[in-house]
Amino acid sequence: MHSWPDIYVPPVSADFPNLSLFSTYQKTLKYVDSSETINIYVCGITPYDATHCGHAATYISFDLIHRYLKCSGKTVNFIENITDIDDPLLERASRDSIDWQELAMSQIDLFRSDMTALHVLPPSYYIGAIESMAEVFKQIKIFNSKGLTYELNGDLYLSIAECEGAIVNLPHDLTESLRIFKERGGDPDRVGKKHPLDTLLWLKARAGEPSWDSPFGAGRPGWHIECAAIALKYATENRDSVLTIQGGGSDLIFPHHYMSAVQGKSLTGREFAQIYSHTGMIGLDGEKMSKSKGNLVFVSKLLADGVDPVTIRVGLMREHYRTDRMWSGAGLASAEEDVARIRKALSREVVAPSVPLIEKIVVALSKDLDTPEVFKLINQWCSDTENGGEGGSAGEVARALDALLGLTF
Ligand code: ZN
């Protein structure tokens, strides 16, 4: 599937320390291994609704990682999927009496235009589930040949207890795992399953639902195998792990990323990813933002209301990417003030020294994307400039903010 237009990233002359990121399952900071191609896989949208601020925050966070590595001269292979067939898409299409494919295409188009407006670098590969059926079949056949699958009324499950380490390494205790599994689309209570956490690899065709012919009968793939199969197909062959970074929102920590990683490891015998990176959730005015509460703030709506995309980026980047944080009118106004102040400082002929600012921004980003520190530095530079500081180049700062932070003034 085509992604969105490529974006020019100006060169930044600075020393780039190795990037460290917090890895969720290991609960520690880890350096991104750049000795080989850096394979980043970020879970994309299920296109039943428009991009909301939570999505935007996630894709902007991984864009910062992408930009940092690109600016430091590393080779990045960035893979993003689109779950263009899944229950939520079919449910929404049925609720709104529209064709599910039309709904998906319209929302994917909107996502592309939102990402373009937000200046998010396009992935190297932007891949839909539907176009990946052959890959899914290939991986399920491997599970079959290893004897790790079983059928339940035509649906094909992966026997999780037989995948090495899958149960002992669960990120929560079993009770909590089962609760979250159920809350996020799993079926722990289905009678006949060998283990309640067994995940669906292939769902037998249901009446009135789209299906694809497969060696396992007509049906459609499970969610976790989709991402594992796409990652295995598009990641370059590296030594130690399939991926360098697997990323997404913190709502994907369990079961989605955990189960994709279990599958990837079981299929290849290698670790699925070196770093499992997750972004915090975005709430609205003190409440959790969710479709069930109907309080989602959509990027396209903000843009239609005339909000500058640079302001949206700043508003979502000023706090640390791993914290759960709020979107609010006051926050937006304050981000607008920051943007106006930076723009004004950049328009001056005489500005405070730029080289130390850029070097410090790079160091802050290298430490698990310390954007609160980055904005402290930028604001200090604005103050210094306003107070008559000199010796810097506004052009150099503007290019660095563009390259490293995706902020084009
Ligand atoms: Zn995924």
What's the gap in Å between 44 CA and the centre of ligand 1? 7
Q: What is the pLDDT of residues 177-196, one digit of tens each?
A: 999 999 999 999 999 999 99
Please tell me the distance from the alpha carbon of residue 367 to that of residue 290, in angstroms, as a whole number: 30
Output the pLDDT for position 288: 83
Q: What is the pTM of this model?
A: 0.97
Q: How would you classify the pairing of strands 271-279 and 241-249?
A: parallel
Q: Are 33 and 22 contacting, i.e. CB atoms less than 8 angstroms apart? A: no
Q: In whole angstroms, what is the distance from residue 70 CA to residue 404 CA?
A: 9
The secondary structure of residue 161, as a DSSP letter, is G
Residue 409 Cα, ligand 1 centroid: separation in angstroms? 33
The rounded distance, in Å, linking the Cα atoms of 267 and 337 is 51
Q: What pLDDT, in 10s, does the model give residues 252-299?
A: 999 999 999 999 999 999 999 999 999 999 999 888 888 788 889 999
How far away, in angstroms, is 227 Cα from ligand 1 center?
A: 5
Measured in Å, residue 337 CA sits from the centre of ligand 1 at: 36
Question: How far is the centre of ligand 1, averaged over its atoms, from the C-alpha of 386 (Å)?
Answer: 46
Distance (angstroms) between ligand 1 centre and the Cα of 229 equals: 10
pLDDT < 70 regions, the chain: none
CA of 124 to the centre of ligand 1 (A): 16
For residue 169, the model assigns a pLDDT of: 95
CA distance 48 to 92: 6
pLDDT of residue 261: 97
- Cα–Cα distance for residue pair 384/390, rounded to 1 Å: 8
399 CA from centroid of ligand 1 (Å): 33
Distance CA 132, CA 130 (A): 5
93 CA distance to ligand 1 middle (Å): 21
Ligand 1 center from residue 130 Cα (angstroms): 14
Q: What is the pLDDT of residue 39?
A: 98
How far does the centroid of ligand 1 lie from the alpha carbon of residue 247, in Å?
9
Compute the distance from residue 246 Cα to the ligand 1 centre, in Å: 9
What pLDDT score does 240 carry? Answer: 87
Tell how far the Cα of 185 is from the centroid of ligand 1, in angstroms: 13
Centre of ligand 1 from the C-alpha of residue 41, in Å: 8
Q: Which residues pair with 127 in a beta bridge?
A: 81
Q: Evaluate whether 359 touches 15 at the Cβ level (below 8 Å).
A: yes
CA of 317 from ligand 1 middle (Å) equals 23
Distance 228 CA to ligand 1 centre (A): 8
Tell how far the Cα of 163 is from the centroid of ligand 1, in angstroms.
19
Domains and CATH numbers, the chain: 21-288 (3.40.50.620)
* Residue 248 φ/ψ region, left for φ over 0, alpha for ψ in the -120 to 50 degree band, beta for the rest: left
pLDDT computed for residue 287 by the predictor: 87
Tell how far the Cα of 212 is from the centroid of ligand 1, in angstroms: 20
